[in-house]
Every structure is written in structure tokens, then in C-alpha cells.
Amino acid sequence: LRYGEDFTYYTAENNELVKVTPPVSAKKPFQEEIDAFLRCIKTGEKLPSHIDTNIITAKMMQAIY
């Protein structure tokens, strides 16, 4: 699996092994990250990677373990 690129997986159809390569409609992933960052600067919204979100996730993981 390559980030933002095509990938191939194998499955069974009609009792046969089938190779499937679905089209990936992703744009340039790094450009999308930059655009999201700039949008957040303009609008004040938080990125999913914002520290507040990560703290919540870390607390949940600690509670599980």
C-alpha cells in the first residue's frame, strides 16, 4: 500500500482468486494537508491532528491498557 496511490488486493469470487486494483481518486495528499492547514488558519477550525484531539486519543488508549 502506497500512500495516495493505487493498491492491489486479492479476494475470492465464484470460488476463484481474483486480483482487484480499484481506482484511487485521491488528489495529491501532501497538497491536501497544506490546503487544510491554510483553511484552518483562515477559519479557526481545528485540524484532526490538533493537540486537543491527540490528548483525548492518548487518554482513551491509556484507559484501554
List pLDDT tens digits, range 26-65: 677 788 889 999 999 999 998 888 888 889 889 999 999 9
**Nearest one of 39, 7, 37 to 25, comparing CA atoms:** 7
Q: What is the largest CA-CA distance in the chain?
A: 53
56: helix, strand or coil = helix
How many domains is the chain built from? 1
Between 10 and 23, the more confident residue is 10
Q: Is residue 27 part of a domain?
A: yes
Q: Is residue 1 part of a domain?
A: no
Q: What is the pLDDT at residue 2?
A: 61
Q: Which domain holds residue 21?
A: 9-64
pTM over cut 0.75: no
- CA pair distance 30, 36, nearest whole angstrom: 10
pLDDT level of residue 4 (50, 70, 90 thresholds) = low
Q: Does the pLDDT value for residue 6 go beyond 90?
A: no
- CA pair distance 4, 26, nearest whole angstrom: 6
Q: What is the pLDDT at residue 5?
A: 67
